[in-house]
Amino acid sequence: MKNDINDMPEPFGRVTHTADEWVMARIVQKFGGTSVGDVDRIKNVALKVKAEVDRGNEVAVVLSAMSGETNRLVDLVSQMAPLYDAREYDVVVATGEQVTVGLLALALQDLGVSARSWLGWQIAIETDDVHGKARIENIVADELVKRMASGEVPVVAGFQGVAPNHRITTLGRGGSDTSAVALAAAVGADRCDIYTDVDGVYTTDPRIVSKARKIDRITYEEMLEMASLGAKVLQTRAVEMAMKTGQRIQVLSSFEDKPGTLVVDEDEIVEKELVSGIAYSRDEAKITLVRVSDKPGVAAAIFGPLSDANVNVDMIVQNRSVGGDATDMTFTVAQDDLDRAVETIENLSADIGYEKLLSDANVVKVSVVGVGMRSHAGVAQRMFAALAEKGINIQVISTSEIKVSVLIDEEYTELALRALHTAYGLDAT
Amino acid sequence: MKNDINDMPEPFGRVTHTADEWVMARIVQKFGGTSVGDVDRIKNVALKVKAEVDRGNEVAVVLSAMSGETNRLVDLVSQMAPLYDAREYDVVVATGEQVTVGLLALALQDLGVSARSWLGWQIAIETDDVHGKARIENIVADELVKRMASGEVPVVAGFQGVAPNHRITTLGRGGSDTSAVALAAAVGADRCDIYTDVDGVYTTDPRIVSKARKIDRITYEEMLEMASLGAKVLQTRAVEMAMKTGQRIQVLSSFEDKPGTLVVDEDEIVEKELVSGIAYSRDEAKITLVRVSDKPGVAAAIFGPLSDANVNVDMIVQNRSVGGDATDMTFTVAQDDLDRAVETIENLSADIGYEKLLSDANVVKVSVVGVGMRSHAGVAQRMFAALAEKGINIQVISTSEIKVSVLIDEEYTELALRALHTAYGLDAT
């Protein structure tokens, strides 16, 4: 059997099998807010679940709240008390998922599929007591596994759990992805299918690069880099949890009936691309301190106070001026943090000693991501050459094991993405 | 101390006390849907709770869902599956109260009042497993009592409980009143205050009779008759539970700051009125079977099949025709049941044997209610005389120990109510 998702029969579980030897798979399906946005969409979800059941698979479902509902509930909480008790926030906000699981269980029953809803405390999905952003510590899955084996579909409320003192917790925004991956790991699922409003992970933003291709398989590490760089298809925590537990994830569309992108271990990908995708983030701002006195401890004097002010610093470069005792220090922060960062630095100007502070929010970070670059030299060089050829000036460079990022003027974003997409051979043919 | 609510200092608990000897009371406050209809109203409820706490009382609160919310949720369920699983209905519909208890706990904390929300399963409010209309079997109140004693206000979700198998149950529409009375009994409350959008129970409908008076004290039995006759201030089941447990209830307004109506044991009312109030119900329809053959078993032949068809028959009269072997049979049903009742009877016409069937939906049932009539003759006679004086024809009469009901033509409703209100000396001076 070839290791190509398009050649594999449904289901493409962990178990090796051929087309004429049918093997049942255990699958967790997760549907996000837009997929359960109204009555008709929930009925559509029920059809997707039924299709998987009809293939002979064991299925559990994890749901988000109807789109807009969580925002409505959070808004009610904020109106009630500006500084709210996160325990009561959780009580209110967790109702969104409680509604959708009840409704989907009804829709499934109406199609003749045996189903029941499960709330976090009923399973139980045990979390710590950090209300509003709790972490799942354990899922008691025995009863669910038993019921799945008997043909019943558990419909599980995502985003919620229960703290040791029996109060309701929520996992933080987007936490339903994490619920789904954790549940998949707990029931030993062959695959965790994350249904969303896009049909997979793309080599880059298809709204900008028309030749962008859907990626068939991507590693956890690449997915993490893509997600943290602004390709918001999967929650970062969900990918981290999948990586830790070795849980295979598929990202696919609720509205189309075709395979999506599989997120898997590196060893499941035979032909590794040098570069899997080009990500970008516009949420960047650059600060340059000109002629900082070049003495030990100056970096700590700058970045310590920024950290205390809760400013996350991303890229950092330091250029020693030739023949001098001063250096230029450049770093990037999120755009929302720019004003706070500038204010923090200016308050420290006497301690640090710099000639002037320059800031620029018209920058974008573009990154090439790929596990293949671990074993290949020249990946960064190809990036620099492609950008130079288009006359794009690189302001800051940073690299990690599986990615190279550059900061460039924001107005070159589209040009850079298209040039790099072509340079790494990612264009659809 | 006089036994008059208006002369009593707050709180008027069970414990006998004078104005200068302060005695703490334990109070359960229940607020209905309109009282928690939006953010501002919930903040207003928080002020009412705080006022009771500031008086030195121990307080627990029971809430309904925001007005309209339960209907919205029920509608979602109905759209999802016409014949729905009541267990999933309960999961969905119980979220309404979960939202309001979280929000009120936040509003109380914002006012500096120690408070936390409690869901049915957290307390636990143990019910049977008749989903959609469960009955409370037990409330585990120890933890709540302990917290109330320590100054914390439990904010309890009304209308919901938990079944033996740990699934969420709801008590049926209006069940929050029952939750409040049950909780009050469980924590040994001195009083259960039911806040609503009217300021108490009236001698009759004040929209019709301008001289209607608010009743200071009414017995459980009278309240039951008033409620079941259409004065929908308190749920019948809540009153029954209060009567059984001896729990004192006060019905009062969320929007005004004055005493309401106390619902109490008969022995708490020293000067019993002959008649406490005049109730009426427009939801009546009359069926007359003319010249039914008068033989043993004919009543069973009519009312058995009606019962099987789930038609509730209320008043029944049978008039034997003079000198014949036939009788006229007249009875009343709810207007919604009229078509079904007529159809049921017509299908049986061969078995029963009657000359013709007459039906009339333009009727109203007017009742005088009062525990005082147990020991006084002539109450019914005064009613008949007052109606006769206004030229109102009585179609059917039925009586119980504490009420006399008559069925009259609907167009005389207002005239009859005013005449009876005056005849029994109930007019405000």
- For the stretch A335-370, pLDDT in tens is 999 999 999 999 988 888 889 999 999 999 999 999
Residue A22 pLDDT more than 80? no
Percent of chain A surpassing pLDDT 70: 93
Going across the sheet that includes B136-139, the strands are: B136-139, B125-127, B160-162, B168-170
Which stretches within A81-172 are classed as H helix?
Answer: 86-93, 95-110, 120-123, 142-149
Summarize the confidence of residues A34-38 as an average pLDDT: 94
Q: Does B118 touch chain A (CB under 8 A)?
A: no
Confidence of residue A174 (pLDDT cuts 50, 70, 90): confident
Residues in B 120-159 with any Cβ partner in A closer than 8 A: 121-122
Q: How far apart are CA A38 and CA A36, in angstroms?
A: 6
Residue in B76, B80, B109 nearest the CB of A81: B109
Q: Do B116 and A79 touch (CB under 8 A)?
A: no
pLDDT at A228: 62
Say if CB B212 and CB B201 are below 8 A apart: no
pLDDT at A77: 96
Say if CB A262 and CB A3 are below 8 A apart: no
Helices A69-80 and A95-110, packing angle to 10 deg:
150
Q: Which of A176-197 are b and which e, b meaning 16 or more Cβ less than 10 Å from the residue's Cβ?
A: bbbbbbbbbbbbebbbbbbbbe
pTM assigned to the model: 0.83
Taking CA–CA distances from B66, the nearest residue in chain A reads: A76
Q: Do B102 and A89 touch (CB under 8 A)?
A: yes
Say if CB B262 and CB B218 are below 8 A apart: yes
Measure Cα distances from B140 to A192, A387, B28, B105 in Å: 40, 70, 16, 21
Q: Do A91 and B166 touch (CB under 8 A)?
A: no
Which long-range contacts does A325-329 make (Cβ < 8 Å, 24+ apart)?
A: A325/A293, A325/A294, A325/A295, A326/A291, A326/A292, A326/A293, A326/A294, A326/A355, A327/A291, A327/A292, A327/A294, A327/A298, A328/A288, A328/A289, A328/A290, A328/A291, A328/A292, A329/A288, A329/A289, A329/A292, A329/A298, A329/A299, A329/A302, A329/A354
CA angle at A263 for the pair A55 and A226, rounded to the nearest 5°: 145
pLDDT at B9: 37
Taking CA–CA distances from A119, the nearest residue in chain B reads: B91
Which long-range contacts does A317-321 make (Cβ < 8 Å, 24+ apart)?
A: A317/A396, A317/A397, A317/A398, A320/A294, A321/A291, A321/A294
Q: Which of A264-273, A322-331, B270-279, B409-418 has the highest mean pLDDT?
A: B409-418
Q: How far apart are CA B369 and CA B373, in angstroms?
A: 8
Which of A47, A74, A92 should we substitute to test contact with B (largest number of B Cβ atoms within 10 Å)? A92
Which of A71, A85, A144, A165 should we substitute to test contact with B (largest number of B Cβ atoms within 10 Å)? A85
pLDDT at A72: 96
Q: How far apart are CA B200 and CA B259, in angstroms?
A: 8
Could you tell me the domains of chain B?
5-266 (3.40.1160.10), 278-423 (3.30.2130.10)
Among B401, B392, B414, B407, which residue's Cα sits nearest to residue B369? B401
Which of A63, A83, A95, A153 should we substitute to test contact with B (largest number of B Cβ atoms within 10 Å)? A95
* Residue B160 with chain A: CB contacts under 8 Å: none
Reported ipTM: 0.82
pLDDT at B230: 57
Which H or E run contains A336? none
- The amino acid occupying position B258 is K
Cα A282 to its chain centre, rounded Å, is 17
Confidence of residue A229 (pLDDT cuts 50, 70, 90): low
Residue bearing tokens 């924001």: A410
- The amino acid occupying position A171 is L
Which H or E run contains B308? helix B298-308
Residue A7 pLDDT more than 50? no
* Residue B43 with chain A: CB contacts under 8 Å: 80
Among A372, A395, A375, A394, which residue's Cα sits nearest to residue A383? A394
Helices A379-389 and A413-423, packing angle to 10 deg:
130
Taken in order B218, B224, B230, B235, the sign of the CA dihedral is: positive
Residue A227 pLDDT more than 80? no
Summarize the confidence of residues A370-394 as an average pLDDT: 90
* Residue A107 with chain B: CB contacts under 8 Å: 80-81
- 3-class secondary-structure state, position A236: helix
pLDDT string in tens for chain B (429-residue length):
333 333 333 333 344 444 444 568 999 999 999 999 999 999 999 999 999 999 999 999 999 999 999 999 999 999 998 888 999 999 999 999 999 999 999 999 999 999 999 999 999 999 999 999 999 999 999 999 999 999 999 999 999 999 999 999 999 877 999 999 999 999 999 999 999 988 899 999 999 999 999 999 999 999 998 876 655 788 889 999 999 999 999 999 988 889 999 999 988 887 777 899 999 999 999 999 998 887 778 888 899 999 998 898 999 988 776 667 788 899 999 999 999 999 999 998 888 889 899 999 999 999 999 988 887 878 999 999 999 999 999 999 988 889 999 999 999 999 999 999 999 999 988
Say if CB B52 and CB B114 are below 8 A apart: no
Mean pLDDT of chain A: 89
A308 or B227: which leads in pLDDT: A308
Residue bearing tokens 């409330």: B139
Measure Cα distances from B171 to A318, B97, B132, B180, B251 in Å: 68, 12, 6, 12, 20
- For the stretch A56-105, pLDDT in tens is 999 999 999 999 999 999 999 999 988 889 999 999 999 999 999 999 99
**Residues near A368 by Cβ (< 8 Å), separated by ≥ 6?**
A275, A277, A278, A379, A383, A403, A404, A420, A424
